[in-house]
Structure formats: structure tokens, C-alpha cells
Chain A
Amino acid sequence: MPRTSLEIAIIDYDMGNVKSIENAIKHICNYSIVVTADHDRIRQADALILPGVGAYRDAMEHLRKRNLIDILNDEALNKKKIILGICLGMQMLFESSEEGGLNKGLGWIPGTVERLNPGGDLRVPHMGWNNIEIAGEPPLLAGLGEEKDFYFVHSYHANCPAEFVTSRFEYGQHYTASVAKGNIMGAQFHPEKSQGNGFTLLRNFVAIVEEAKKGA
């Protein structure tokens, strides 16, 4: 691992495959990447990634068991550390989810997570490559190619106020594809599995972290 000036911590809380996120970030930059649940490492990191595959209730429970919720709240809300939630990790940024009964989330962005109901003969899970429609000029989505396809696999979506939505995807109706609220960002899709567009997003993320560090 090269000694460099930035460290990105991927939160390790036993919710699915963090390896591919680590692999993808290593592919696009030389910064230090750690996969950790260690409180000090999380506090020291310049940016955090909250991954997640699996069920909402389990995910919140796993964060709780590792005493990560207070630390993440402090990092996100007080220290304004750059945080990216991916897939279930994005859904956890919201107030609650109806998956497996009503479960409380981190509540950093107003909104709720609800079951996809695309209608017609459209299937759930929503699985595969779907293009996104960008709202405004979110820095995380700068410089994407003409075809803005990302890989999605999920059965729930975030229902939140339009001011936090940075892109949408169409699947029977329009759903939230990505969100941002200041230092807190989220993607419903998997940038680490979205080939070229995914790399562009991750490079943007790293650039945002560099900017934040410079300004600090």
C-alpha cells in the first residue's frame, strides 16, 4: 500500500461483498483503502463508504452491534466527513424502510425506503443495466458518457424530496437512482460493478474527497 495523503475507509459490518468496492477504488487511484469496523480507523479516514447487500433490518442491527451508529452520526453530521452509501448503504441514509416491517435508518436524509412497484410485467428485483437521468449538476455524476448505464440490483427504492435527488431511473415509473445532501451522498446502483461509468463516478468521489481535504 503506497503511503499517500488520503485514506478512504469502507465500513465493514458483515453485510455482503465489500471486496469489489475495494477492488474498484484501488483500480482508479493510489490512495489508501481500508475495510474496517475499527472506530479509530473510521475517525481517522478522510472519507467513508457505506456498502451493503442484504436486508435492511440486519444491516442496522449489525451497525448497532458494532457500536458504529454514534460514530457514524458524529462523522457525518458534526464533522461533515464525505460519505458515500451504495445500494443498501444508500437506503440506510434515510429515516426508515418498510423492508421486513418498519425499520429505522440512520436518518441523515429525509425520506423513506419503499418496495418497488413498477407495475405491468416488470420484474422485482430490478436487476441489470439501467440508464439514469441526472438532475442538476451533481459533482459525483460529472463527465459520464452519453450512455449513462449503471448496474442495479434491488427490490426497494428511496422515496425522498426532489431537492436531494441527483439522478433518477425509469422502470415503469421514475425512481431515485442517486442522492446528495451536502457531504452525504448515495447511489442505489453499484458503481463498482458498472465498468466505465462506475469508474467515472468513483474518480469523481475521490476528487470530491481531495477537494474537501484541501479546503479543510
Chain B
Amino acid sequence: MLTKRVIVCLDVRAGQVTKGVKFQGNVDLGDPVEYARRYYEQGVDELVFYDITASAEQRSLFIDVVERVAAEIFIPFSVGGGIRDVDTMRTVLLAGAEKVSVNSPAVRNPEIITAGAEAFGAQCIVVGMDAQKVETTKAIPSGYEIVIDGGRTPTGQDALAWAIEAESRGAGEICLNAIDTDGVKQGYELTITRMVSDAVGIPVIASGGGGTPQHLIDAVTTGGADAALIASMVHYGDYTVGSIKADMAQAGVPIR
């Protein structure tokens, strides 16, 4: 049986793990490889490294992190942030990542999804999307709008429609991040998670809001997600990946 995945996301800035709240006010936490190893030993199913800087100088620090992780951590991991085109995808894949996650650039230029899927296979291309709850309108019938640039820029585009388009353009997975719940540990945005999970045939990762094991259980049951992404609930030592997975298994969720 395929198990539900617990994915830990590490935001990396200047070679350090960092964590912000609602995309603002970041705190540096430590060495990404050390963090990765800790979660690996706790039984995490997958890791995501997100480069939250874009300067060329820090980019090379980030690639160095990716290479070190690949040499020491033997589970799949993906890389997001700074993925703009096939060349930036190739750089991180050759450094040892399994998958790349592309967010705002895919909204601006959806062709990038197809180009990536053709070059590396659909399973390599994760489309990350930030969704924000808005009033339901004709243009946004789901009531969730895509926002880009780290939550700063509304696009007027419907989140559900975008998820469907991303799949049709060759995405192998969707990472759905809810802006309103991100970093506040009050649970995932289950409504849009369920809508997207029902509408696409590719795996969906719920992101933004995980604060207790019950939140992850809700994401993969009520939300219909295949995986749940967490960060702060393990970074600060409130929980371990092992304890979260034990609670999920206890609730009947298939877990590795």
C-alpha cells in the first residue's frame, strides 16, 4: 500500500535554515544538512529545500547545500525557490535533487511546466502554488485566488483552475500552500485542499498551517491530500517526525 507522506520543508537563506511567519520576520535556525539529518533519522518521508533568497552569490551557497544533502541523506528531496527555467531546474537536479518546485515563474509563464516535464519527466516537476481565500466571483469561482511573489501579488487567477491547468501542462505533483494559514499552526486550509485533490489525478501536498498531528491527519483524510508539509512544528522541537507519524498511524492513516 502507498503510504501518506510527511514532508518537512526547510527554508534556506544564506546557507542557513530560516523560518518566517506569513512570509515576514525570518529567524535563522542553523545548518540545513544538520536539520535534514535529524528529520531523516526520525523517519521523514521526503524533504523540501526552499531557497528564499535570489541573489547570485547566495545561490551558489544554496547549491552547495543541495550537494551536501544529496551526499548524506538517502531519501527523496525537492528544491524550490529560484527555479525560473529549464537551466535552473537542471542545476539543482544535477546537484542531487529528485524534483524541482516552480511557483511564481510558472504562473507568469506556464510553458515552463511543459518544458520541464519534457526535459526531465513529469515526475520531476512540482508546481507550487500559493492560494488565498477571497470572495467568490465569476473570475474566481472556487473562492481561492493564486497569489505570487511570496504572497505579495494577487493574480486574479482561480486557484482550482490553475491546479487543473498545471496538471494538463505536465506537472507531476502539486504543492498547495494556503497563505492565510501558513506559519500560524491552526491547521491546513482543508476546503481548497479537498477541491484540488478531487479535481486532479496527480499527487497533492497540503502546505501551510500544520501545527498538531491532528492537522496532518485532517489534511490527508478530509483534505484528500497525499502528503502534508510541515516546518515550524518540528523545527522548534514541539514535535518529532516520529511522534507525528505515530499519531497518524494510530488514527488509521497508512504511514511508513
Contacts and interface: CB of A to CB of B under 8 A. Distances in A.
B173 interface: yes
A123 interface: yes
Contacts of A17: 93-94, 96-98
Interface residues of B, number: 36
A129 B256 contact: yes
A123 B226 contact: yes
Contacts of B5: 128-129
A198 B120 contact: no
A195 B75 CA distance: 6
Main secondary structure of the interface of A (DSSP, over half): mixed
A53 B1 contact: no
Interface in B75-99: 75-76, 93-98
A26 B124 CA distance: 24
A53 B118 CA distance: 11
Given A17-B94, A153-B98, A125 B3 contact: no
Nearest to B45: A129
B172 A125 contact: yes
Nearest to A171: B2
B173 A127 contact: yes
Interface in B198-234: 201-203, 224, 226-227
Contacts of B96: 17, 19-20, 23
A131 B71 CA distance: 25
Contacts of B71: 23
A128 B75 contact: no
Nearest to A23: B71
A16 B99 CA distance: 11
Nearest to A52: B121
A138 B115 CA distance: 40
B123 interface: yes
A124 B40 CA distance: 26
B202 A149 contact: no
Contact of B123 (A20, A125, A131): A125
B64 to A, nearest CB: 14
A127 B75 contact: no
Given A17-B98, A23-B74, 7 more contacts: A17-B94, A20-B96, A125-B122, A127-B203, A129-B3, A131-B1, A151-B75
Nearest first, the 7 A-B pairs at minimum CB distance are A54-B121, A129-B256, A153-B123, A130-B2, A125-B123, A19-B96, A193-B76
